[in-house]
């Protein structure tokens, strides 16, 4: 498959190729200023040369060498800035493309969630964090309000909302709100259907063989046998006398 668009406003028109998968560390889509982010291309069995590229609001289809530190099939940004916000993907020298990952760099309140789609049944925790622009550490130690598709869904005292087994019903746009510092940008939580199992179901237990004779008929047969045996014994006794 090949890249179909370089428009940062329409990341969904990229098609994923089986030959490569883009992952991100830390595994989330929103980052604070100056955090270090590493993007890696997993290319099992591929003989092509792959690199990480991106679209931002100012430049399109730019390779890692101009904005990050390239190492094999990985690219590291040491100290992200708002200009690093955009769409990232892996691309081979023949034009094949991987999945895409959207990155946003912000300050203040952010909601940390997975950067890649979940599968039904997965577990996930959304972490509402706050950090001043030049602070060294962020904090989630506050009561955060959570919203899904603009609708309030609950308060969490430690700034975290967890889903044990996600389903398509959990899919949507999420954001959180600090009691005094405002709301985070929205993130998209995508949930994909689990692939059907290819394992054949176990065979049904074997049925017990049907009885050779029903219980009433067996009792009747035993009764007749005993009756005829008694008559025979009585007849023999009478003959001897």
Q: What pLDDT does residue 154 have?
A: 94
Burial 88-115 (b: 16+ CB within 10 A, else e): bbbbbeeebbbbbbbbbbbebbbbbbbb
Taking a C-beta distance cutoff of 8 angstroms, is the pair 44, 17 a contact?
no
The pLDDT value given to residue 17: 42
Best CA proximity match to 188, nearest among 175, 176, 177, 172: 172
pLDDT value at position 72? 82
pLDDT of residue 2: 44
Count of residues making up the chain = 241
Residue 11: phi and psi, rounded to 5, are -70, -20
- 17-106, CATH topology level: Immunoglobulin-like (2.60.40)
Q: pTM for the whole thing?
A: 0.71
DSSP class of residue 174 equals: E
Q: What is the pLDDT along the chain (241 residues), one digit of tens a residue?
A: 446 444 444 444 344 444 789 999 999 999 999 999 999 998 776 666 889 999 999 899 899 999 999 888 899 999 999 999 999 999 988 888 999 999 999 989 999 999 999 999 999 999 999 998 888 889 999 999 999 999 999 999 889 999 999 999 999 999 999 999 999 999 999 999 988 776 666 777 776 666 666 667 777 677 777 877 777 777 677 776 6
3-state secondary structure 79-148: CCCHHHCEEEEEEECCCEEEEEEEEEEECEEEEECCCCCEECCCCEEEEEEEECCCCCCCECCCCEEEEE
The pLDDT value recorded for residue 124 is 95
What are the sequence ranges of the domains in the chain? 17-106
């Amino acid at each position: 498959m090949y890249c179909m668009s370089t428009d940062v406003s329409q990341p969904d028109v990229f098609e994923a190729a089986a030959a490569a998968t883009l992952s991100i560390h830390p595994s989330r889509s929103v980052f604070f200023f100056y955090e270090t982010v590493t993007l890696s291309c997993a290319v099992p069995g591929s003989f092509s040369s792959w690199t990480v590229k991106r679209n931002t609001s100012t430049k399109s289809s730019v390779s890692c060498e101009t904005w990050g530190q390239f190492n094999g099939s990985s690219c590291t940004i040491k100290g992200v800035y708002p200009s690093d916000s955009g769409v990232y993907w892996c691309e081979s020298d023949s034009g094949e493309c991987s999945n895409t990952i959207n990155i946003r760099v912000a300050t203040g309140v952010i909601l940390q969630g997975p950067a890649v789609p979940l599968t039904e049944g997965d577990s996930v925790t959304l972490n509402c964090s706050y950090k001043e622009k030049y602070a060294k550490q962020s904090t989630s130690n506050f009561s955060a309000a959570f919203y899904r598709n603009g609708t309030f869904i609950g308060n969490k005292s430690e700034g975290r909302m967890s889903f044990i087994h996600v389903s398509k019903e959990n899919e949507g746009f999420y954001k959180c709100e600090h009691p005094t510092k405002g709301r985070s940008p929205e993130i998209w939580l995508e949930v994909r259907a689990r692939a059907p199992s290819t394992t054949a179901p176990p065979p049904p237990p074997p049925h017990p063989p049907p009885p050779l004779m029903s219980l009433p008929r067996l009792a009747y047969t035993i009764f007749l046998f005993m009756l005829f045996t008694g008559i025979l014994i009585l007849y023999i006794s009478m003959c001897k006398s």
